[in-house]
Structure 1
Amino acid sequence: MIAQSPIAGDSRILREATALAAAGHTLHVIGRDVPDGFEVGPGITVESVSRSSGLRTGNGGLTVGHGHSGPKVLAKRFGRWLLLPEHRNRTEKHWRTAAAPVVAAAGPVDVVHAHDFNTLELAAEYAAKWSAKLVYDSHELWFDRALPGRPTPLWRARGRRYEVSLASRARVVFTVSDGIAERLRSRGLSDVRVVRNTFPRADDVPAAPDRPEGLLYAGRVGAGRDLPTVVAAARQLLPFRTVLMGSVDPNYRLDLGPVETVAERSIDEVDDTLRTYGISLVTLTNTCENHRLALPNKLFHAVRAGVPVVAADLPELRAVVTQYKLGGLYEPGNAQSLTAAVRSVIENYSTYTDGVRTAAAELNWEHDAATLVTAYSEL
């Protein structure tokens, strides 16, 4: 497996590797920023290739206000906006160049599994050299993401064509939602299978309370998560509590207003925290096709914890939330809509807790891991 993500924090990669090892495969995972001594489990080894930190500057964090202004600051921001796409592509290419000898030393192998497009070219090259099977795992609709920096329509168009040309060499393509799978099939990829970012079923889910205590957003705190809308709705929901929990993207600035914050926690601790508050926020902006077709981890984490959700009303999220009666939907960017959705979930809390707990029988990692393991058995 090859990935440019920090492996220790990538639950999808870790779960996939563990499931394949349990099925009898031996895996070597090459990723980024792997802590010393990090171990996944029997049959799995991990190797790290570092990547540059990029153009990030400043102190970052959750702050109040809009920072400094003036011609020099505006000029720097414009330069950053102009250069970001080129810098991002160069950084990813440099990682592939540094990873190539590491990949070469790991082979030959039977299967090369590329996690996301930014490893696909490297994976395809070595799969061909070793006459190995190529597997492509598209965690996102790569060339339809909302990205910082200047618009890059030509890069996106060329990238979609190149992605299909490389991915067509793969024996199987995995992705995270039915919507992304359909889009990849429409672009010419035939065998696309959905392995959702679900969580293993919890051993014991306590009985739900009669009413929730608050609203919890558990995930990365940064752009694209529609968090300004959460803050605006929090003012209207008082004294009902709104809480953010997670790591903060560098340079992300947010006026917290009445929103509380708690420190990032482990998966099992997140389960308990979700149950403490009672409603999980699954928010995204309606700014790109990738968001419209996404099924974030937070949705399935809420199912594991047995907690209803208030989710962005985007096509793929809407389909799952309504099918399984997992909670309420709100219009991204609309604080009044979010407020109304939260109040509706509070008023119909037992209906949604019943829906979530019933859905756990299907929306779990054991179900999705079977799709992954079956595909590998066919290789």
Structure 2
Amino acid sequence: MKPQILCISFSDINVDSRVLRQVQVLSEFGAVTTLAYGEIPAGASAHIEIESSLPSLPQTPLGVLGLALRLYKTSEFSAPAVRQALQLATGKTFDLIIANEARALPLAHRLASESTPKTPVWGDMHEWAPEERAHVMPWRLLVKPYMTHVCRSYISKTDAVSAVNGSIGRLYDSNFGGSAKVVRNAAPFQDLHPSPMKDGMIRLAHSGAAVPGRNLEGMIQAAIDLGEGYTLDLYLVKARDGGKYWEQLRTLAAGNSRIIFHDAVEPTALAATLNQYDVGIFSLPPKTTNHQLMLPNKFFDFVQARLAIVFSPSPETSALIEEYDLGKIAADYSTQGLVDAVKAMTRADIAAYKENSHRSAHSLSSVEDEQTERSILEDLLSR
């Protein structure tokens, strides 16, 4: 009989590239049940769907009061989505449980404890949980201490821990114990080639989530300031605000025909869609630890799309840009810094960087990360 594996993610799983890749690897080892927002994803054998309207943090009046009073043990199961998930999953047994991000750890350990011996838990922490949205004051005051409590209470009890890069993995190790493995947000290898450049035009592209705090306004302004000869195409996943922020961004760019908003595309189609452009851009002021130590999906998507890359400074991304000679690192996090970095590249430079992305596509694909995941799974399922 195949091992029964539960994959918990409080995200819309079908647009969560990291978790979708994870599910594919999990499916090599057993029958996967996903517990998440959205419909059953490819690779899953069964699915427990959480109502999309239910928040995964204690955002109800009583929940906020509990956070304010530091009643963290009670808060672990006070979020509406977590309560529903516990109700739907209780009584089911699994051979392995994966918790994606810290907010899923209490639920994973509660469900794991229903088996004797206790089911092993793999905590894929993704980024640094205590500062996920620490640039927002309510999060910093109420949620950051709660997330710290969750990590302190559960990381040391978790059988395997992973994070998106070595810098963030070391934060978990030094603050909460354990030995985090690195599973980057690298995309699968795509059999593409650099697209030819168009005469008289340099085509910039950006992909990601349309949520505040990602400096999308700064990138739009940079495209405006670059002037004629540059275009910016945006592929943005709308947030759970009904697309209000996405519309605000469109208003900011209104009247500029060189800035084009597109509907988001499926993660599996993103690299091929971006392949028609020349330069992938991202500039993010380091307002949180995650910003400072970023190594996001879009970096690897740009490589698989065979683009030149221009990013603001960050230890993880800057090291890879320099190692593989993929593009330019902006001098700072300002709009002008991004403009200057883009303008510093000649057309010949951009063509060369696109070729370097092509040569690096195997090395910077998800192959290495999938092997790390497989080694974790082999260890945990052999227990």
Q: Structure 1-normalised TM-score?
A: 0.82
How many Å separate the matches in 1 of 2:76 and 2:373? Answer: 32
The Cα of 1:282 is off from its aligned counterpart by: 2.6
Q: What SS does the corresponding residue of 1:214 show, helix, strand or coil?
A: strand
Does the 8 A contact of 1:284 with 1:332 survive in 2? no
The Cα of 1:51 is off from its aligned counterpart by: 4.3
1:95 maps to which of 69, 81, 84: 81
Does residue 7 (structure 1) correspond to residue 13 (structure 2)? The answer is yes
Does the 8 A contact of 1:137 with 1:175 survive in 2? yes
Does the 8 A contact of 2:203 with 2:231 survive in 1? yes
The Cα of 1:312 is off from its aligned counterpart by: 2.0
In structure 2, what residue type is equivalent to 1:183? L
Q: Give the 5 Å matches for 1:323-334.
A: 323-330=323-330, 333-334=333-334
Q: What SS does the corresponding residue of 2:33 show, helix, strand or coil?
A: strand
The Cα of 1:180 is off from its aligned counterpart by: 0.7
Q: Please, which runs of 5 or more residues in structure 1 have no aligned partner?
A: 55-81
Q: Structure 2-normalised TM-score?
A: 0.82
How many Å separate the matches in 2 of 1:101 and 1:377? Answer: 30
Aligned twin of 1:245: 235
Measured at CA, do residues 96 and 332 of structure 1 come closer, stay the same or move farther in structure 2, by a change above 3 Å?
farther
Measured at CA, do residues 125 and 373 of structure 1 come closer, stay the same or move farther in structure 2, by a change above 3 Å?
same
1:128 maps to which of 110, 113, 117: 113
1:40 maps to which of 39, 42, 48: 42
Q: What SS does the corresponding residue of 1:264 show, helix, strand or coil?
A: coil
Aligned twin of 1:233: 222
The Cα of 1:236 is off from its aligned counterpart by: 2.2
Aligned twin of 1:110: 95
Q: What SS does the corresponding residue of 2:187 show, helix, strand or coil?
A: coil
How many Å separate the matches in 1 of 2:365 and 2:176? Answer: 29
Does residue 28 (structure 1) correspond to residue 13 (structure 2)? The answer is no
Q: What SS does the corresponding residue of 1:202 show, helix, strand or coil?
A: coil
Q: Give the 5 Å matches for 1:253-292.
A: 253-254=248-249, 255-257=252-254, 258=256, 259-267=259-267, 269-292=269-292
Aligned twin of 1:70: none
Does residue 195 (structure 1) correspond to residue 180 (structure 2)? The answer is no
Q: What SS does the corresponding residue of 1:105 show, helix, strand or coil?
A: coil
Measured at CA, do residues 332 and 122 of structure 1 come closer, stay the same or move farther in structure 2, by a change above 3 Å?
farther
Q: Give the 5 Å matches for 1:320-359.
A: 320-330=320-330, 333-347=333-347, 348-359=349-360
Residue range with higher mean Cα deviation, 188-197 or 155-164: 155-164
In structure 2, what residue type is equivalent to 1:111? L
The Cα of 1:319 is off from its aligned counterpart by: 2.2
Aligned twin of 1:140: 127
Measured at CA, do residues 46 and 155 of structure 1 come closer, stay the same or move farther in structure 2, by a change above 3 Å?
closer
The Cα of 1:363 is off from its aligned counterpart by: 1.2
Give per-residue Cα distances to partners, 1:84-137, cap 9 Å, x unaligned. x87xx7997121111112222331x11111111111001111212211101101
Measured at CA, do residues 217 and 28 of structure 1 come closer, stay the same or move farther in structure 2, by a change above 3 Å?
same
How many Å separate the matches in 2 of 1:104 and 1:298? Answer: 36
How many Å separate the matches in 1 of 2:182 and 2:268? Answer: 25
Does the 8 A contact of 1:3 with 1:119 survive in 2? yes
Measured at CA, do residues 92 and 302 of structure 1 come closer, stay the same or move farther in structure 2, by a change above 3 Å?
farther
Q: What SS does the corresponding residue of 1:295 show, helix, strand or coil?
A: coil
Give per-residue Cα distances to partners, 1:58-89, cap 9 Å, x unaligned. xxxxxxxxxxxxxxxxxxxxxxxx99x87xx7
The Cα of 1:271 is off from its aligned counterpart by: 2.4
Aligned twin of 1:74: none
Q: What SS does the corresponding residue of 2:341 show, helix, strand or coil?
A: helix
Identity %: 23
Measured at CA, do residues 320 and 40 of structure 1 come closer, stay the same or move farther in structure 2, by a change above 3 Å?
same
Q: What SS does the corresponding residue of 1:173 show, helix, strand or coil?
A: strand
How many Å separate the matches in 2 of 1:112 and 1:244? Answer: 36
In structure 2, what residue type is equivalent to 1:168? S
In structure 1, what residue type is equivalent to 2:237? S
Aligned residues: 344
How many Å separate the matches in 2 of 1:332 and 1:53? Answer: 39
How many Å separate the matches in 1 of 2:11 and 2:332? Answer: 27
CA RMSD of superposed structures (Å)? 2.7
The Cα of 1:154 is off from its aligned counterpart by: 6.6
The Cα of 1:196 is off from its aligned counterpart by: 0.8
Does the 8 A contact of 1:174 with 1:194 survive in 2? yes
Measured at CA, do residues 269 and 30 of structure 1 come closer, stay the same or move farther in structure 2, by a change above 3 Å?
closer
In structure 2, what residue type is equivalent to 1:225? R
How many Å separate the matches in 1 of 2:333 and 2:195? Answer: 33
How many Å separate the matches in 1 of 2:283 and 2:46? Answer: 35
How many Å separate the matches in 1 of 2:173 and 2:48? Answer: 33
Give per-residue Cα distances to partners, 1:258-316, cap 9 Å, x unaligned. 32222222345432332222111233232111111121111101111111111121222
How many Å separate the matches in 2 of 1:90 and 1:281? Answer: 38
How many Å separate the matches in 1 of 2:109 and 2:342? Answer: 46
Q: Please, which runs of 5 or more residues in structure 2 have no aligned partner?
A: 1-6, 56-63, 69-74
The Cα of 1:232 is off from its aligned counterpart by: 2.0
Residue range with higher mean Cα deviation, 208-217 or 359-368: 208-217
